[in-house]
Structure 1
Amino acid sequence: MADEESRAALLDRWWAVGSKFVAPATLLSSLLFYFGYVSTRAQYRYFGLDVDTVGLSTRDYVMRSPQALLVPLLAISLGGAGLLLLHLAIRRRPLSVGAVRVAFAAGILGVAAGVVLVGGYAAFGDWPAYPLVTPLLLAAGSAAVLYTMRMPGSPDFLRSPDPDEVNLRRGVLAFTVVAIVGCVFWATATVAQWTGLGNGMRTARHLDQLAPVILDTQEPLFLTDGIVTVTSLPAAEGDEFRFRYRGFRVLVQGDGTMFLVPERWSPSDSTLMVRLDSSVRVQFRFMSRAP
């Protein structure tokens, strides 16, 4: 009980020190912005678009982050609850020395496998599951080592009561916790990126659900996708618009810029960047569904 109280007091002190440098609200906003940016970048990259050219605001990225974070939050919450229940069961019925040694060895192997993957990025980096498996191996292995290091069966030097080694073990604990947090951050960013890519592919399958527009221009666009149709407008005094394009859908709109895609996906499709100025005229069409 005394050890648990001392660890809780140590955690409170670390939290107080950390909150002096970074306010919790600022940290949360920064995380939401980052994961929203990662997800949005992957989503529009599928359409050949660099999200930095769109001009989305910080608020836009923050508002897009919950969808990317839903799966990681569920996994962390349910996984954390499961680990707490497992810890409660172990406290009531402690593990045998053999089980502790197996868990400790499994943790060491997990960390070693993660280190090999990190060091062998040139060889394993093209593996699709690499950015998720690597941090999970490192985090799970490190957590298993930390959990079993104080149990009977772990190496003696990890459980030594020598007071001169207390600060050293605390330093090992602090660095390992930082590594685990970094790995969780890495895995969450990977899931956010995959979520954005999945959103982009789903959008491409249902382009007809995006907002339809009619685009009038003064100069021809020379489109070759065969989906967007063009008609010539009759000459009128004072009207400089000569071409009308139908079949466009709004992919995203930024600060003074609109990005349009054809209403059906094709390998030859491209994303059209339109400046919202006097050189174009945009009409938003109603949906073809009676009210």
Structure 2
Amino acid sequence: MVRVRRTPARPPAEEPEAVAEEAPTGLGFEKWLSFLSTFIAPATLITGLLFYFGYVSSRAFFLYFGVDVDVLGLSNQQFVIRSPGALFIPVMVLLLLAAAVLVAHRMLRRRLAVSAEARRRVTTVLAAAGVLLLIVGLALAFGYAFLATWPFYGFATAACLAVGAGLAAYAASSAHPPRDAARARPLVVLLVAVMVAGTFWATATVAEWWGRGQARTQAADLSTLPAVVLDTRERLAPGNPAITVIELEKERDAAGEPIAGQFAYRYHGLRLLVRGEDRLFLVPDRWSPNASTLVVPLSDDIRVRFRFFPDADPPD
């Protein structure tokens, strides 16, 4: 008896056209997010950004007290340490915006991929809004001579350029089917570059606001700074009534003559704002619009004593 062995029937092969039709048609948004991530991945670039934003916020802080940050001689590490406070709010806002944009993109993805009419309408609206914001941003940029005194000029200009370029880039990458997206790639790359530059500009403006705000908070209560007693050989002119000067009793030699080179004047009512490489920057106890920062070189002609106060609520 001969047994006939039956082989199981193979399922019919899928048609290439059917597979292609069922495959999800992405709009390339995740690809552009990956492209943007390449700008912030290197550690050296992150360090450079921290240094820059720390410099911007520190410059605004010390400029409020009339001091140019470049004369302080702060190291790169000190600028980096000063940057997290200035970057915290912008980074949190940008991360939340990126999450919101990603959710909105995924909600539109299926509709735009299936309906060509919906794709056309949405991309037209986004492109029109993006171009309008770019025009407004360019108008603000070229109107610097007339609008520079507006407090929100820098942020408004940068935000219009960044948001407008982002909307235009999204519309350009979504206007055509994925197989034709290569034609719009150069335009999208340029728009993404404008968006990155605008975001950088807006973040730097926020860092400057943060530094100036920190300076105003510090000026409202200078008691948190170390108190300074300054002795000098020559009389200074602090130019502020909050700073008091006392003429020290002069020591005399055996002949009854004042000893040359001794400290003759003592100043109270000073606070240490910051120490530079070879000088001290002192401010009065009470800051006012007509106050000024006293720059004292570290030399044998002066004697400085500091007084540190405990915390207002020390532990038991």
TM-score range, shorter chain: 0.7 to 0.9
Which string of whole-angstrom CA distances, capped at 9 and with x for unpartnered residues, describes residues 267-289 of structure 1? 22110111122111111114277
Distance in 2 separating the partners of 1:91 and 1:188: 30
Out of 272, 282, 286, the position equivalent to 1:250 is: 272
Q: Does 1:101 align with 2:124?
A: yes
Name the counterpart of 2:19.
Answer: none
Q: Which residue of 2 aligns with 1:138?
A: 161
Over the aligned positions, Cα root-mean-square deviation in angstroms equals 3.0
1:167-182 equivalences under 5 Å are 168-182=183-197
> Counterpart of 2:203?
188
Q: Flag the structure with more relative contact order, 1 or 2, with Cα contacts below 8 A and sequence separation at least 6.
A: 1
Structure 2 partner of 1:124? 147
Query: In structure 1, what is the Cα distance between the partners aligned to 2:96 and 2:50?
Result: 21
Distance 1:9 1:181, change over 3 A: closer
Q: 2: distance between equivalents of 1:268 and 1:126? A: 22
Partner of residue 45, structure 1: 63
Cross-structure match for 1:230:
245
1:217–1:189 CA distance, 2 compared to 1 (3 A): same
Count residues with an aligned counterpart: 278
**Is the alpha carbon distance of 1:67 and 1:11 closer, same or farther for their aligned partners in structure 2, counting shifts above 3 Å?**
closer
CA distance in 1, matches of 2:164, 2:64: 34
The answer on whether the counterparts of 2:274 and 2:280 sit within 8 Å (CA) in structure 1 is: yes
Q: Answer with 1 or 2: which has the greater Rg.
A: 2
Report deviation, 1:61.
0.5
Contact 2:58 2:69 survives alignment (8 Å): yes
Give the equivalent residue in structure 1 for 2:293.
Answer: 271
State the percentage of identical aligned residues.
40
> Corresponding residue for 2:100?
82
Alignment of 1:214 with 2:236, yes or no, is no
Q: Identify if the C-alpha distance between structure 1 residues 118 and 247 changes in structure 2 by more than 3 Å, giving closer, same or farther.
A: same
CA contact (8 A) 2:173 2:185 kept: no
Residue from 195, 199, 202 that aligns with 2:217: 202
Separation in 1, partners of 2:313, 2:47 = 42
- Offset, 1:101: 2.5
| TM-score when normalising by structure 2 | 0.79
* SS, match of residue 277 in structure 1: coil
Q: Take 2:71 and 2:31, find their aligned partners in 1: how far apart are those partners?
A: 47
Unaligned runs of 5+ in 2: 1-23, 253-258
Shift of residue 150, structure 1, vs aligned partner = 4.4
Q: Contact 2:141/2:157 (CA < 8 Å) preserved in 1? A: yes
